[in-house]
């Protein structure tokens, strides 16, 4: 039987997310092109 995915709680309102992240530090490091930056902003606004 597979193990359940690890979760983390954000803030104090009970929001839980997967412990596996996007690695945002790596994304910001390479976000130098304007098109990529706009796509990243669109992605994060859809997620949040």
- Give me the residue spans of the domains in the chain: 22-48
Predicted local distance difference test score (pLDDT) of residue 20: 81
pLDDT range class, residue 3, cuts 50, 70, 90: confident
CA dihedral over 4, 24, 15, 9, signed as positive or negative: positive
Distance CA 31, CA 19 (A): 23
Q: What is the pLDDT of residues 25-40, one digit of tens each?
A: 565 555 566 667 777 7
Mean pLDDT of the chain: 75
The reported pTM is 0.37
User: Which single residue is written with the structure tokens 């997620």?
Assistant: 47
Residues 6+ apart with CB under 8 A from 7: 16, 17, 18, 19
């Amino acid at each position: 039987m597979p193990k359940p995915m690890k979760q983390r709680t954000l803030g104090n309102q009970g929001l839980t997310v997967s412990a596996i992240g996007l690695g945002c530090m790596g994304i910001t490091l390479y976000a130098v092109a304007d098109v990529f930056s706009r796509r990243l902003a669109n992605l994060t606004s859809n997620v949040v």
